Structure 1
Amino acid sequence: MRIPTVLAATALTVAVVSQPAHAAAAPAVVFTKIYYDSPGSPDFGKNSSLNGEYAQIRNRTKKAVSLKGWTLRDATKRPDHVYTFGAFTLGAGKTVTVRTGKGKDTGTTRYWNRSGGTYAYIWNQTADTGYLRDASGRLIDSCSYNSSRAAFRIC
C-alpha cells in the first residue's frame, strides 16, 4: 500500500515542477488602440485629420500612475516622432488619448502638437509599431499593426 502513495506523490511533484514558476505579469499601463489611418487623409496634414490619428493608453490598475517622463513613439528613429509626457497622472482604470495634431491638453486627451503637412503624421497608414516606455526608458508595452484594410488596431 505504501508504493502507490509514493508513486502518486511523485507524479504530483513532477506535474508541479513542469509548470512555470510564475507567469509574466501583464503591464499596468498598456496600449488599447492605435488609429493610424485618420479620416480624410491624405489631406496635406490638416489639424482635424492629424487629430484623427491617435494612440490610446490605459491604466489597468486600481491606483493612479504618474506618466511624467514616459515616452510614446513609433518604429522610426526620428526624434520628432517621440511624445514625452509632462506632469500627467493617469487615473486608476482610466484611458488617455494622445492625438497627433494641436489642441488643449486635458485629463483625458494629450496633444503631440504636430503640424506641417503630410510629414506631420506619426503613424504609417499600413504598418508600424507603437512603443510605450517609462521615464527610465524601460519598454512597458508595444502595439504593432500591418494592414491597409483597417484604419485602426485594437491592441
Structure 2
Amino acid sequence: MKKTAMLAAIVACATTLLAAPQAGAAAHQDGLHFGALQFDGPGADMPQTNAKLNAEYVDLHNNTRTAIQLRGYTVKTASGYLYTFPSFTLGAWKTVRLKNGQGTNTAASVFRKKNNFWFNNSSGSLTLTAPGGAKKDTCSWRANGRGTTTCH
C-alpha cells in the first residue's frame, strides 16, 4: 500500500511540474497585441535607405477567433510618432507586420510610408490604441545589442 501511495505522489508531483510554465517564460497574450519588434535594423542607419527604414517594424497579433477591422487603431511611440491604420482586416489568429518605410500593403505587411526612422535605438515604448481611445497594448525596449525584442 505504501508503494502505491508513494507512486501516486510522484506522478502527481511530476504532472504539476510538467504543467507549470518555465520561470521567465512569457504567457502568450490573448486579443490584439504587439509581438516581435525590431527597433534597430541591422547595420548603420546612414546612409538612410527604404530597406533600412523597413528593417524597423513591429508585429501585431490577433489571437482571437474572429477577424478584427483595424481602421482607426493607432500605434504611437513615446516620442510622438504615430501610425493610424487605414481600412485593414486582420484575420483570426493572424499577424501583420507594420514596417516603417515605403511599400504596398498586403495581408502580411503594412507600411507607415514615412522617410524617417521612428524607433529610438537606445530605448522607447509603443502604445496600441483602439479607435475609441481604449489602450490595447504597450511595449517598451532598451538597447540589447540585437536591436530586437518580443513585446509579449
Q: Shorter-chain TM-score: which interval?
A: 0.7 to 0.9
Distance of aligned partners of 1:27 and 1:132 in 2 relative to their CA distance in 1, 3 Å threshold? farther
How do 1:61-76 residues align onto structure 2 when only pairs under 5 Å count? 61-76=64-79
Partner SS, residue 58 of structure 1:
strand
Aligned counterpart, 1:106? 106
RMSD (Å), alpha carbons = 1.2
How do 1:21-36 residues align onto structure 2 when only pairs under 5 Å count? 28-36=31-39
Amino acid in structure 1 at the alignment position of 2:112: W
How many matched pairs?
123
How do 1:126-137 residues align onto structure 2 when only pairs under 5 Å count? 126-137=122-133
TM-score computed with the length of structure 1 as normaliser: 0.76
Runs of 5+ unmatched residues, structure 1: 1-25
CA–CA separation in structure 1 for the residues paired with 2:39 and 2:49: 15
Alpha-carbon contact 1:28-1:59 (below 8 Å) kept: yes
Alpha-carbon contact 2:30-2:64 (below 8 Å) kept: no
CA–CA separation in structure 2 for the residues paired with 1:53 and 1:85: 17
TM-score computed with the length of structure 2 as normaliser: 0.77
What percent of counterpart residues are identical?
30
CA–CA separation in structure 2 for the residues paired with 1:134 and 1:125: 26
Q: Deviations over 1:62-85 (max 9, x none)?
A: 1101111000111113xxx11000
